[in-house]
Structure 1
C-alpha cells in the first residue's frame, strides 16, 4: 500500500475516540445534510448559516461530512441568482466551519465533499468533457493533468473530498450513465482511474491536504452491467467477467492510493453493493489492502429497507458490511439506537477511526491530534480558531487562479475528444468550401445547432453569463453572415439551400436538466417529457437510435441541398448512427466535449485541426443488437437474420486508426511479459494493441486491449513505439502456456496483420 504522507497521531486519535459519546461517534459517520441547505442569505444579501445546519450540528455534537455546499444545478435549485459564487466560497467555508467548531463538542472540523464527476459541479466550477468523451482521447496523461488542475481548484476552495466517476464500465448503451464511463474497456478505465487518483491526490497521496483532495471513486461495482441497461438494478454476471471487466479500475484505484470508494446502487447476484461483505471487506480491504473510507451512494442505504425490513436495520446491515460514511440516508442516522449491540459499536469505532484519519490529513482535528498544523487550502491566509479546533479559510485570488488553469485544461481536452467516424476523404473539400469567402452559405442545422448545454453532460452547474456559445455562434463569429441557422430544416429560402456551400448538422442527445424538471429523491431525472434530457442518470432508453426523429431530419436536409453535409454527433452513449453515416458526407463524433466543445468542432472544420480521437465504445448498426461489445466472448455477426452485421463501427475506430501502424517485432521477455515494437506512420492519436488468447480452459474473448500508446509527435509523425504486455494480462494462473495473437488498430483484423507469441507461466 502507498505510504500516507500525513500520518496522524494514532494514540491521540484513540484518546479522542474514547472521549466521544456513541451519538457523537455516529454523527461523524453521517453525511445526511444537503450542503446547499446549510446557508441562506440575510436581508442584506449576505451569506448566513441556516437553523437546519445548527440543528444538525447540535444533534450530533459536531458534523462528520457535509455534501455539496457549493453544488448548483436544477435539483439543488441553486443558480447564479441564489447560489454560492466563486468569490463567496471563502466566506461560505468560514461560516460553516466556524459553526461546526463553535457548536461541536471536540473541536473537530467538517469534511466537505463535492461532486466532481467531470469537473466541479459549482457556480464557476471547471467543467471537463464527460468521461465517455475523455475515453476517446486514450490519453491518461492528459486526464491526469486536468484532474490535478480540478483538484487544485477544489482544494483552493476549501473542499476536501471529490466524488469522481471512473469505476463504471459501459456495457450497455441503453444505460443513461454511460457518459460517466471511460468506455467499454477495462484496461483504459483502469488507466484513467489511476490518472484521476494520482492527479487529484498526488503520487503516494503527497498532495492530500497540500493543494490536492481525497478522491472517492464511484461506483463500486459492476453498475454498468445492470440487466437491460436499467439504472441501479441487478448485475447478472459471473466471477470471471466481474474480475476481468469491472474490477481492474478498482484495483488500479487502490494501487494509486485512492482514499475512498462509493458503494453502488446495484446488486451483484442479489447482494446489494452497499451491504456486500465480500465486496467491501473481503475483496476491497483484505485482498487489495484498501485503507480509506467507503461511502454509500445517495440514499442507497435506505433502499436496503426492502431487504432488512426497516430503516434502522438497513443502516446496521450497511455498516457491518463495510460502509463507513452515509449519503443523505436515515439508516446511518438510526445507528445510535444500537448502542447496546457490540458488533455495531465495534464497527462504528472502526469506521470512525478511518474518518478521523482522513480529517487529520486536512488538519481538521484538534491541536495534538493532527489538526491546527498549518495545512489548508492553497493560498489560504486565515484560520478559524475556536477552542482546540482550528480550520483554514481559502483565499479568493487563489481560487480564481486555480479555476483559470483548470479551464485551460478543459479547452485542451475538448480538442483531443474529436473523433472522425467517416468521410476523411471529403473533409478537405468541406474545409475548402467553408474557407472560400466567395462560396455560398454555411447552413448550421439540427436540434443542437445553437445549443451549448448539449456539450456539458450531467452533473454540471449553469454556465456564467457570456460563456454560453454553440457551433452556430462560433461559426458565425468566424464567417459572418454567410452562416445561417435552420435548426429544424426550415426558415430559409430555397435559394439558400441550392446555393449552400456546406451544411453542418449538429445532432445527438443531451443530459441537460431544466429548472422545472422533475427529480427522484436522489437527484436523478424522474421523468423526461418532450425534448428533455436523453441521457444521464435516470434516463435509460430502450431504443438507442437518435431521439426526436433526427434521422428523418437528415433526410430532409439531403432533399433540400446537394451541398456536402458534415454531421457532428454530440452524445453520451453509443447511439445507432447507421443512417447518419449513410446520409452524411463526413461524420464527426464529439461526445460531450464540455464547454469548449463548440470551439473544438469549429477548429476541426475551419482550421483543419486534427481529429485524434478513437471511439471508446462499439457503435451498434441496429438498436436491437445491443449490448454488443468488442471484448465479448462470442460474436454477434451473422446471428440475427434481420441484422447480420450488428456492428457499425468498432471500438477504437478513428482517423487512420487502421493501416497506419504495424507490428515490427514481438518477443517474450525472461519475465514472461511481451515486448512489442510498432512502426507508426502518420497516425494521429493513440495506437492500440489487441490480443486474443488461444488455449486454456475458458472461452477466450474475441479481442482484448492489452496496451495503448499515444503517438509522441504531431500529426504526420512517423517512427516506432514500444508497447508492453504483462504476462498476467493474457494468462490465467492455471495455464502452462498460452498462444497469444497480437495486432494493432481496431478489434477487427485480418490474418496478414497478426503476429503470434507463446507465453509460459
Structure 2
C-alpha cells in the first residue's frame, strides 16, 4: 500500500478505531470462550467487546493455523479490514533454542548471533509471528539483577555490535522478505542500571553516564533499522520512561532519528500511577501519548481514556493520528495489507522447527559461547580414564533459560545423553547427587514449574550413589549451577552463590576425590571463590539451549577447543556489585603493590573481579607481541594502524579473541580507565602466527565533553591490545 493510501485510510477511521489500533492484548483473550473473557479478565481490565474486536495487536500467541484463524476473525470484524499484528518474546530461539544472550555475548561473534536470530525468525514467522521483542540491549554491570541473562554484557561497544547484528538477523533488508520478522529494541532506556540490582527499581544515572555507556547499544540497533522500540519500567531523571517526553521525543525520536513504533512494556504506562508520577490512568494515558508511545501493552489505559480526553479537549487528536499511522506503516512494511498471514504456514512451521540445520547452528553457538575459566591440566578429558559425571545438571533437560518459553525442554540434549554416545560405558558413571535447589529454596510467584520436593531418604540415597561413583572414578565432572528460574525477569538475588545444596555435594565429592571439573550452568555471574580455589577446572556453559549437552561433551573431550571470553565481569563477591572493567578513573587509585590506607579500596576484598571482562582460557596458549603503531600522531581526518602478532604457542589448534582497548590520557571530563574499541577472532594451528591490525580513527576517541557535545579533544591516547581487559600491552599516540 502506498503512503498516500495509508493516510487516506487513517483519515477514514473513527477515533475509536484509531485508539484501538494502539491497544495490545494477550492472545489468551482470543483463544478461549469470548463470554468468559469479557466477564472475566477483560472486564477486570476495563476492556469492552469493541476493544477486544478491534485491538491492533496480539501478544503471546503462536502457531500458523491458530494465527490464520485469529487474523480471519479479526479482519472480518474490523471496520476497514485492517490486519492485526502478532508479537511474542522470541528472545534466543523459537523452537530451536540458542544460547542465552549473555552466553552469545561470550562468543565475541556478532555475526554468529545474527545467524541465530535469522534462524529464529524463520521459525517464528512460519508460526505466524510478525514481531519479536528482541534484542534486549540494556547495559548490565550488576550481577544481582536477574535480567543480565538477556543482555550481551557490560560493554557499550560489544553490546552495540550484537545489537545491530541481531536486528539485521531478524529483519534482513526488507520486512516483507519471507522468513523475517520485525525486531524490537528494548528496554528504552537504562533498565540495566536498576538501583541495588532490584528489578523494576528506579535508575539513578547522571546524564553523562547515561549517554556515555547506556545509550550506544540502543542507537546501534536503531541505526540498523529496528522497526520497534519498547519502553522500560524504570525512571530516568525521576520520570518513568513510558511518560518521559524528553527521553522519547527528544532523544529517541529527535537525536536518534527513530521513526518506528514505540510500545510500552507490559502495563508500564499504568504503572506510572504506582510510581506516583501520574495521578490516575487518564493522566498516565495523556502523558504517555504526549511522550509518543504508540501501543499500550495489556492495559486499558489508552482504550478507556483517550477518546474521552480528545472529546474533552485534553489531548490533540493529531497525537493519536501520529501513533496510529506509525502502526499502520509497520503493518504495511510487513506486507500485511496484501498478505495478512505473511509467512504463516503449518507445513513450513513443522519443517523449520528443530531442523538439522538449526540444531547444528545451536550447537556451534553453544560451543563458541563456553568460557574456560580454569584448567589445571585436566581438560580436555582423557576418555581412557574412569570418569564420573556427578551433579544435578548431568541429565537435566532444563538448560534453555527462563526466557525461552516457546521452546520445549524435552527437546534439549542433556550431558548424559550426549556423553553416552562418546564415553565407554564400562568406565563412565552418571549420578544426579542432589537437586538443583533444596527444599528450603522457594521460587516466589513462579507458575511455570514447581521444583520437586525430596524426602530426606531420597536426598540421602542420591548423595550416597554420587559419592560412591566419585570415589571409584579417576576424575569427576560436576555439572552444577543456578536453577533456570533463578535468573531472568523478577529474579534479583542478594546472594549470587551456587545453591547451597550443590555446594555441600561439591565439598563432599572433593573429600573423596580431589580431581573435580565443574561445568557451570547459570544466567548471571556468580560468586565462584570456593569453586575456583578447589576445582581443577571450571567450564562456564551458561544456559546453552537445545544442543547444550552435545556442545558440552565436544568441548570437554577436546573435539572443540573453547574460545569464549567473558562479556561481563565475575565479581570476587557480591559486595563488589556493580562492577565493570571500564570504571572511571579516581583521584586515589589503588595501584598494584600499594599498601597505603587512604586509597579507593576495600579492607577485606580486592578491587579486581575474580574473573574480568574479556577473560577466557583455551586448551592451547597464545602470545601477543608488543603493540606497533604505524605513526605516533594523527589528525582528525587520519587514522592509525595498531598491529600485533598473535602466535599459537601450544600444542592444539585454537581460536583467540584479540581485544583493542583505548584510554584517553587526559580530558576535561573524567574518562574510563580503558574502553573496548575493537576485537578480532583469530584461529591458529600450533606454532602458527598471524598479524592482526586495528584501525583507529578520530571517531573512536569521541565522548560527551564538558559542554555536553559529542566529540574528541587533542591529546595523548594509550592503545592496549591483548586477550582480556587486564592487558597492559600498550603504545601511545597523539591526536593533533
TM-score bucket of the superposed structures, by smaller chain: 0.7 to 0.9
Give 2:7's aligned residue.
14
CA distance in 1, matches of 2:122, 2:406: 19
| Superposition deviation, residue 50 in structure 1 | 13
| Superposition deviation, residue 90 in structure 1 | 2.7
> Relative to 1, partners in 2 of residues 1:557 and 1:344: Cα closer, same or farther, differing over 3 Å?
farther
> Relative to 1, partners in 2 of residues 1:470 and 1:734: Cα closer, same or farther, differing over 3 Å?
closer
- Aligned equivalent of 1:741, options 704, 711, 718: 718
Q: What is the SS of the residue equivalent to 2:230?
A: strand
- Aligned equivalent of 2:388, options 417, 433, 443: 443
CA distance in 2, matches of 1:332, 1:194: 32
- Aligned equivalent of 2:93, options 115, 119, 122: 119
Q: What is the SS of the residue equivalent to 2:625?
A: strand
- Aligned equivalent of 1:101, options 75, 79, 85: 75
> Relative to 1, partners in 2 of residues 1:614 and 1:759: Cα closer, same or farther, differing over 3 Å?
same
Give 2:144's aligned residue.
174
Q: Is the 8 A contact 1:690 1:747 kept in 2?
A: no
Q: What is the SS of the residue equivalent to 1:536?
A: coil
| Superposition deviation, residue 663 in structure 1 | 4.8
| Superposition deviation, residue 174 in structure 1 | 0.5
Give 1:681's aligned residue.
647
| Superposition deviation, residue 710 in structure 1 | 1.7
Q: What is the SS of the residue equivalent to 2:293?
A: coil
* Pairs aligned (count): 671
| Superposition deviation, residue 616 in structure 1 | 0.8
Q: Would you say 1:609 and 2:609 are equivalent positions?
A: no
Instruction: Give matches, 1:333-348, under 5 Å.
Output: 333-334=303-304, 335-340=306-311, 341=313, 343-348=315-320
> Relative to 1, partners in 2 of residues 1:735 and 1:257: Cα closer, same or farther, differing over 3 Å?
closer
| Superposition deviation, residue 738 in structure 1 | 2.8
CA distance in 1, matches of 2:195, 2:72: 47
> Relative to 1, partners in 2 of residues 1:604 and 1:233: Cα closer, same or farther, differing over 3 Å?
same
Q: Is the 8 A contact 1:363 1:376 kept in 2?
A: no
| Superposition deviation, residue 573 in structure 1 | 0.8
Give 1:189's aligned residue.
159
Q: Is the 8 A contact 2:376 2:537 kept in 1?
A: yes
Give 1:655's aligned residue.
617
| Superposition deviation, residue 256 in structure 1 | 0.6
CA distance in 2, matches of 1:149, 1:50: 40
Q: What is the SS of the residue equivalent to 2:617?
A: coil
Q: Is the 8 A contact 2:647 2:690 kept in 1?
A: yes
> Relative to 1, partners in 2 of residues 1:208 and 1:497: Cα closer, same or farther, differing over 3 Å?
same
Q: What is the SS of the residue equivalent to 1:339?
A: helix
Q: Is the 8 A contact 2:294 2:324 kept in 1?
A: yes
Indicate the larger mover: 630-639 or 267-276.
630-639
| Superposition deviation, residue 587 in structure 1 | 0.6
Q: Is the 8 A contact 1:201 1:208 kept in 2?
A: no
Give 1:548's aligned residue.
500
| Superposition deviation, residue 398 in structure 1 | 5.4
Give 1:384's aligned residue.
none
| Superposition deviation, residue 293 in structure 1 | 0.6
Q: Would you say 1:243 and 2:211 are equivalent positions?
A: yes
Give 1:560's aligned residue.
512
Q: What is the SS of the residue equivalent to 1:95?
A: helix
- Aligned equivalent of 1:485, options 431, 443, 446: 431
Post-superposition CA distance 1:268-311 (Å, at most 9, x none):
12111111111111111111111101110001011011321111
CA distance in 2, matches of 1:26, 1:49: 19
Instruction: Give matches, 1:427-466, under 5 Å.
Output: 427-428=379-380, 431-432=381-382, 435-436=383-384, 439-440=385-386, 442-461=387-406, 463=408, 465=410
Q: Would you say 1:160 and 2:130 are equivalent positions?
A: yes
CA distance in 2, matches of 1:617, 1:62: 44
Q: Would you say 1:252 and 2:220 are equivalent positions?
A: yes
| Superposition deviation, residue 721 in structure 1 | 2.3
- Aligned equivalent of 2:414, options 457, 460, 470: 470
Q: What is the SS of the residue equivalent to 2:277?
A: helix
- Aligned equivalent of 1:66, options 58, 72, 81: 58
CA distance in 1, matches of 2:288, 2:687: 54
CA distance in 2, matches of 1:424, 1:744: 26
> Relative to 1, partners in 2 of residues 1:680 and 1:746: Cα closer, same or farther, differing over 3 Å?
closer
Give 1:388's aligned residue.
none
Post-superposition CA distance 1:643-666 (Å, at most 9, x none):
135421110100259853235432
Instruction: Give matches, 1:125-164, under 5 Å.
Output: 125-164=95-134
Post-superposition CA distance 1:178-231 (Å, at most 9, x none):
10110111111100010111111113xx24454311111111111111110011
Q: State TM-score, norm by structure 2.
A: 0.86
Q: Would you say 1:92 and 2:66 are equivalent positions?
A: yes
Q: Is the 8 A contact 2:475 2:513 kept in 1?
A: no
- Aligned equivalent of 2:263, options 288, 295, 302: 295
CA distance in 2, matches of 1:363, 1:53: 30
Instruction: Give matches, 1:314-353, under 5 Å.
Output: 314-334=284-304, 335-340=306-311, 341=313, 343-353=315-325
CA distance in 1, matches of 2:643, 2:249: 41
> Relative to 1, partners in 2 of residues 1:426 and 1:311: Cα closer, same or farther, differing over 3 Å?
same
Q: What is the SS of the residue equivalent to 2:297?
A: coil
| Superposition deviation, residue 67 in structure 1 | 0.8
> Relative to 1, partners in 2 of residues 1:727 and 1:510: Cα closer, same or farther, differing over 3 Å?
farther
Q: Is the 8 A contact 1:614 1:686 kept in 2?
A: yes
Q: Is the 8 A contact 1:664 1:678 kept in 2?
A: yes
| Superposition deviation, residue 626 in structure 1 | 1.5
Q: Is the 8 A contact 1:39 1:50 kept in 2?
A: no
Post-superposition CA distance 1:4-38 (Å, at most 9, x none):
xxxx422211211111111110000110x211341
Indicate the larger mover: 265-274 or 396-405.
396-405
- Aligned equivalent of 2:370, options 413, 418, 427: 418
Q: Is the 8 A contact 1:153 1:406 kept in 2?
A: no
Any unmatched runs of 5+ in structure 2? 435-461, 591-599, 649-653, 704-709
> Relative to 1, partners in 2 of residues 1:747 and 1:261: Cα closer, same or farther, differing over 3 Å?
same
Pairwise CA RMSD: 2.8
Any unmatched runs of 5+ in structure 1? 1-7, 43-47, 71-88, 365-370, 379-392, 512-532
> Relative to 1, partners in 2 of residues 1:583 and 1:337: Cα closer, same or farther, differing over 3 Å?
same
Give 2:628's aligned residue.
665
- Aligned equivalent of 2:342, options 371, 377, 381: 377
Give 2:472's aligned residue.
499
Give 1:74's aligned residue.
none
Q: State TM-score, norm by structure 1.
A: 0.83
Q: What is the SS of the residue equivalent to 1:294?
A: strand
Q: Would you say 1:360 and 2:323 are equivalent positions?
A: no
Q: What is the SS of the residue equivalent to 1:566?
A: strand
